[in-house]
Structure 1
Amino acid sequence: MTTPSGTVRQLIREHHAQLTQSERKFAQALLDDYPGAGLSSITQAAANAGVSTPTVARMVQKLGFKGYPAFHAALLGELQAKVSGPEARRAVWAAEAPDSHLLNRFAEAVTQNLRQTFAHVDTAQFDAAAARLASPEGRLYVVGGRITRSLAEYAFTHFQAIRARVTHLTSSSATWPHYVLDMTEGDTLLIFDIRRYEENLLRLAEIAQARSMQVILITDQWSSPIASVAAHTFNCWVEIPSAWDSNIATLSLVEALVAAAQEHRWPEARDRFERLDALFELTRLFRKP
């Protein structure tokens, strides 16, 4: 039996319909305390969830693991991947790198990231998030972290052209209370958070959710802790042969959401584009052909 691909969280979602009621009870206990609930012995994990040891053994096999040790090792691997810094990431790639040129390995990794990312997007969730991002009824706030702030700025620029009342939070969390002051029920927070996850972003998301806002999270394949308060979570595969993670799949997902939001707002978005172009003409920003 080969080791299943994807995180344990994703495998639970994919196989949820095949699980019995008691197996789903353990699966939910694991999701509620992920991945901690699965890092103890099988006996302790079963007892903590209030199910039998055979129930846990059957569930992990349904997920594609040979047994609980392989399941346990997969969770440990995810935990290690979440906290690894650039040096550790490069060490993994350097140890496993084939003899082919870096460009070929890079292209292969990026292609795989795109394939995995879009294969794991739930279309109903995507449509709901796009409609929410397009809706002018509430204000849209966009924020990113140390690395993802460029993605947040990119998303902000496009959504601001599509709809009104879009705010880009600065990269300094010291200024966030000024934005939070105006956040109300019905608003939306689009937030980017990839490993190593940022505590200030989690706190901001918790405050937004407490104010009855909808949080839309774009994260990596291991999932930011913000997923626990997000209405919609999108996982993007990010590993490449580098000390750094890739934003290519993440950017592609953002562009897909922008395109979907634009369609939701058409022809209002078209009118907004035309008025924006007229303003650009006044500023003479762009060179005429």
Structure 2
Amino acid sequence: MTVREMIKRENANLTVSERKIGDAVLADYPFGALQTIQELAERTGVSAPSITRFVSKIGFAGYQEFQRHLIAELKESRSSPLELKATEKPSKGGAFLADYARRASDRMHEMSQSVPQEQFDRILTLISDPARAIFVLGGRISDNIATFLSIHLKQIRPKVHHLPSNPEHWPDLLLSIRKQDVLILFDFRRYQRDLESLADIVAKECRPSIVLITDKWMSPIARHSDHVVALPIEIQTAWDTLVCAIAFVEALIVKVSESDWPTTKARLEAWDTLRLVSPAQPSGDKDDR
């Protein structure tokens, strides 16, 4: 369990001063608590003993253990396949595909338990609103999922834009973002600085609703986001899995299409009419090969 999760778990049991500490830690997570206890006390206006009681209440023996846990999280959030390879769990009996499918299934079940239906519904409401333009982008690998989402949404509704990978081309689309629009970003561990910079600029200059799809360590984009979906990605191999991200996106696509099915149906029919497909061969013609 991350420190973030521990704080949220104990939130109802915290005093006013302890909630103030928790808010300060979460506001600049995890860096907000990687300072001395005196510096954190001065920044929050809360006494050092109150901070000690806070870290004890959320589950740590002391402030040093609390910080060690945060540092370990920070290292995990930057783990590469080379580092993950050292901790992978081999499959049993050589049946790797079946074992991998079981692990993926476990992650899917974990997602179903950890992502609240209310959060899914709030994001669905934003994306389903035809008055809002949708802008989508992902990281070096996760942009494939952003592409997958944008291609399907474009068939369902208008005003869907997939930002290009080259930041030099972003201003053209960013100039059209309005406060009522939605920016969806995908960013998983080994987070990309250009995406964080994009979120920072858009949050300050355009102020749309920002939806972040990330992992339990939380991309730095979280501090700029209105909705943060933390998905399981660890699968005990050298490579993280994006199976939960794909499933989450597929679920959104299904429900967005159903939110106004008559309009979706009409758009799909028009879309298929305009598709550039090769003319069918007359039934009597033979293949020239």
Aligned length: 279
Identity %: 35
1:162 CA displacement: 1.7
Separation of aligned partners in 2, 1:120 and 1:277? 38
Structure 2 partner of 1:33:
28
Distance change (3 Å), C-alpha of 1:16 and 1:285:
farther
Q: What do residues 152-184 of structure 1 show as CA deviations (whole Å, max 9, x unaligned)?
A: 110001111221111111222222122223222
Check if 1:198 corresponds to 2:192.
yes
8 A Cα contact 2:111 2:232, kept in partner: yes
Within 5 Å, which residues of 2 pair with 1:70-109? 70-93=65-88, 97=90, 101=94, 102-103=96-97, 106-109=100-103
8 A Cα contact 1:105 1:241, kept in partner: no
8 A Cα contact 1:205 1:226, kept in partner: yes
Q: Larger Rg: 1 or 2?
A: 2
Separation of aligned partners in 2, 1:238 and 1:127? 22
Structure 2 partner of 1:126:
120
Separation of aligned partners in 1, 2:10 and 2:265? 42
8 A Cα contact 1:220 1:238, kept in partner: yes
Check if 1:19 corresponds to 2:46.
no
Distance change (3 Å), C-alpha of 1:118 and 1:42:
farther
Separation of aligned partners in 2, 1:138 and 1:240? 36
Separation of aligned partners in 1, 2:12 and 2:125? 27
SS at match of 1:191: strand
SS at match of 1:92: coil
Distance change (3 Å), C-alpha of 1:66 and 1:110:
farther
TM-score by length of 2: 0.85
1:103 CA displacement: 4.2
Within 5 Å, which residues of 2 pair with 1:43-58? 44-58=39-53
SS at match of 2:11: helix
Structure 2 partner of 1:229:
224
Check if 1:275 corresponds to 2:244.
no
8 A Cα contact 2:28 2:223, kept in partner: no
TM-score by length of 1: 0.85
- The aligned amino acid for 1:85 is S
- The aligned amino acid for 2:74 is L
Structure 2 partner of 1:179:
173
SS at match of 1:17: helix
- The aligned amino acid for 1:112 is D
SS at match of 1:234: strand
Ranges in structure 2 where 5+ consecutive residues have no aligned partner? 282-289
1:126 CA displacement: 1.9
Ranges in structure 1 where 5+ consecutive residues have no aligned partner? none
Structure 1 vs Structure 2 CA RMSD: 2.6
